[in-house]
Homo-oligomer: A and B are copies of this chain.
Amino acid sequence: MITDAAIDRWLREDVGHHDVTNQVPGETTGRLVAKEAGVAAGLEAATAVFEYLDVDVLDALADGTAIEPGDELLRVAGPARDVLRGERVAVNLAGHAGGIATRTRAAVDAAREESDSVRIAGTRKTTPGLRGLEKRAVVAGGGDTHRLDLSHMVLVKDNHIAELGLEDAIAHFRDRVSFATALEVEVETVAQAPRAADAGADVLLLDNMTPAETRDAVEALAEFDVLTEASGGISIAAVPAYAATGVDIISMGSLTHSAPALDLSFRTGD
């Protein structure tokens, strides 16, 4: 959810101490319009910004809706001053989130060329301050949030394994986390994968493996009731090859940290 405290900060950041160009009397309307095709997201956040300013939100697409150029995403009406104050923050939020949703959809579509079930997931490589917005944008694009924060799912990493050994590291953390918390283990070789599954991992992170290695690891895990995740600099172009390996999840930091904004414009008064 978007809190009032966040909206406070965002508006103050954009408006500054004394703006005069928004000191406009009267009422106006505004429309958020797509200038390119993509997937809508961030509209709950944009709605919250306008409602914070007591601007009425008359209509809004649901996050996740596919859009074409010219489509109207959001329509508002209220005092001109407040519509104008909220405009830039609302567009920045919806453009940023829409870009993430659009890129996620593209990755999902690429995956579907080879697999009906593989999930495209985000990572913790999000923009500080916008974790929730970006995770929800991934979902709007058809993706999977992956873990929301460090407390959501344990990830046993190479440094833990280096220190404690594979089996002991897994036992160490299994012993320390809730039953509500899944446990994922990062493996760097195909050989490590079944050992980790045997030691109790719920999910195997197949890190920086080629599609061929990934396929080998997936096969080596056939008998285990575990999920498998391919990760490590996977581009959208590479998604089909990974999707074809039978892996369950393909995670991509670029969904959130490198998606270009969706091109939107805000038009007032018509």
Contacts and interface: CB of A to CB of B under 8 A. Distances in A.
B12 A3 contact: yes
B132 A18 contact: yes
A96 interface: yes
Contacts of A184: 180
Contacts of A136: 18
Taken together, the copies of this chain in the complex come to 6
A243 interface: no
Contacts of A95: 125, 257
Given A20-B177, A148-B18, A6 B129 contact: yes
A233 B261 CA distance: 12
A179 B144 contact: yes
A192 to B, nearest CB: 18
B260 A261 contact: no
Contacts of A159: 268-269
B150 A16 contact: yes
A5 to B, nearest CB: 5
Interface string A257-270: 11011010000110
A33 to B, nearest CB: 15
Interface of A: 1, 3-6, 8-23, 52, 85, 88-89, 91-93, 95-96, 99, 119, 121, 124-132, 135-136, 139, 144-157, 159-160, 173, 176-182, 184, 203, 225, 227, 229, 233, 248-249, 253-254, 257-258, 260-261, 263, 268-269
A45 to B, nearest CB: 9
Contacts of A180: 144-148, 152-153, 182, 184, 203
A149 B16 contact: yes
B257 A9 contact: no
14 contacts: A1-B15, A4-B52, A13-B132, A13-B149, A18-B145, A18-B151, A19-B151, A88-B125, A96-B128, A119-B179, A121-B178, A159-B269, A179-B203, A179-B227
Given A15-B1, A16-B149, A149-B13, A127 B124 contact: no
